[in-house]
Amino acid sequence: MANLDYLEHSIPVAPLKICALKGCEALAGTIDQYLVQFRRDLLLRNPDKADIYGYSQKSFLIGSECPRFGSGEAKGRILESVRGVDLFILVDVCNYSITYKVCGLENHMSPDDHYQDLKRIIAAAIGKAHRINVIMPFLYEGRQHKRTNRESLDCAQALQELAGMGVSNILTFDAHDPRVMNAIPLHGFDNFFPTYQFLKALLKCVPDLKIDNNHLMIISPDEGAMSRAVYFSNILGVDMGMFYKRRDYSTIVNGKNPIVAHEFLGDSVEGKNVVIIDDMISSGESMLEVAKQLKARGARDVFVCTTFGLFTDGLSKFDEYYEKGYIARVITTDLSYRTPELLSRPWYEPAVMGKYLASIIDTLNHDVSVDKVRDTTYKLNKLLASHR
């Protein structure tokens, strides 16, 4: 763990506990294993920390549940004491695999259901826990971040609601528009990026990848992903290009204006491997269209890196494009639910985030700057040096 040097002489704000809502158990288990190891390593460097109550434990996980009545109503319960602890609540609002029954009918949990369960657990802990932190990798309603005409501002409203309930810090990954933090200017809001994990996963599945201007190029699929692509290309020292979406603003289909065409801005991609980087794959329609256009322009292999892989329209189109050679690999993090079918696909590669999240939690619990965790430039350069 790279943060041992400055965590060694700092003191936690309170004993650490992690509460994983339903659907997050596997990720929480990985985080817990790393935290246990981190604390053991810190005790070896500073044995005096053994005197701090609850500093090193066999597990930092606590149990919780949200049982439902036959009508579909629910309540939140925490199964052990949280008085005086620094509580981190982990929620995956996109995990639709969790079901519950209403009047004998089976319902799949929506983001709204997960968000309500989150509030129930916060309500059960508030007034007892020393501090409450919410880890919401996929930001609830993050795509509804700005108002056009008469529309609700769901993400801003949710953030204000959590802040009003007493949540001290909200942690998310690759927010669709991080400016939504302006809704809670007096509360903690941290937005992290999995850039290092993307590169690590990419080099794992393509060990002989040549990283230079003659062989690699970073592509932003739209204007919104520009900042991610600029950072990635600068770190790798390669060129970048960008597509922009030409939309039909006279029509609305499935709540959005349909894309008429993708226009490309940038140098030639002919003969180069290209990496498309974005925050999410929803249906994947625009991402696949970009990959197809890049292949038509002479690109060699197309790699897709996105933080969240939702695949709302299934995997068949990705299977087809893989077989046709339009895409070589799709890399997503394990921060949101992934179906067993996705995990079995030959074109899929996971970017594992458990260790990174454990490092973030440990740093916040010690109440020291998270900038050293967020800034992955050093780790990226070290990984590149070992690869080259």
Instruction: Give the residue with greater pLDDT, 253 vs 48.
Output: 48
Question: What percentage of residues in the chain have a pLDDT greater than 90?
Answer: 58
CB atoms within 10 A of CB 25: 12
Q: What integer best gives the mean pLDDT of the chain?
A: 89
pLDDT, tens digit, 9 for 90 and up, residues 290-305: 899 999 999 999 999 9
pLDDT, tens digit, 9 for 90 and up, residues 326-356: 999 999 999 999 999 999 999 999 999 999 9
User: Do residues 293 and 244 make contact, with C-beta atoms less than 8 angstroms apart?
Assistant: no
Q: If you ran DSSP here, which 8-state letter would residue 119 be given? A: H
Mean pLDDT across the stretch 52-63? 90
Mean pLDDT across the stretch 81-104? 93
**Confidence category of residue 125, pLDDT binned at 50, 70, 90:** very high
User: Do residues 54 and 333 make contact, with C-beta atoms less than 8 angstroms apart?
Assistant: no
Structure tokens at 109: 């949990």
User: To which H or E segment does residue 238 belong?
Assistant: none
Instruction: Give the residue with greater pLDDT, 84 vs 147.
Output: 84
Cα–Cα distance between 110 and 96 in angstroms, integer?
6
Instruction: Give the residue with greater pLDDT, 2 vs 31.
Output: 31
Backbone angles phi, psi at 180, to 5 degrees: -65, -15
Lowest mean pLDDT among 136-140, 239-243, 327-331: 239-243
Which residue's entry shows tokens 């740093």? 363
Model pLDDT, residue 3: 60
**Confidence category of residue 285, pLDDT binned at 50, 70, 90:** confident
User: Do residues 115 and 140 make contact, with C-beta atoms less than 8 angstroms apart?
Assistant: yes
Residue 6 has pLDDT above 90, yes or no: no
Lowest mean pLDDT among 2-6, 138-142, 204-208, 375-379: 2-6
Distance, CA of 320 to chain centre: 27
Residue 57 has pLDDT above 50, yes or no: yes
User: To which H or E segment does residue 304 belong?
Assistant: strand 302-309
Residue 241 has pLDDT above 60, yes or no: yes
Model pLDDT, residue 256: 64
Instruction: Give the residue with greater pLDDT, 79 vs 252.
Output: 79
**Confidence category of residue 248, pLDDT binned at 50, 70, 90:** low
Mean pLDDT across the stretch 210-223? 88
Cα–Cα distance between 256 and 250 in angstroms, integer?
11
User: Do residues 337 and 24 make contact, with C-beta atoms less than 8 angstroms apart?
Assistant: no
Model pLDDT, residue 32: 96
Model pLDDT, residue 261: 64
| Strands 99-102 and 86-90, sheet pairing | unpaired
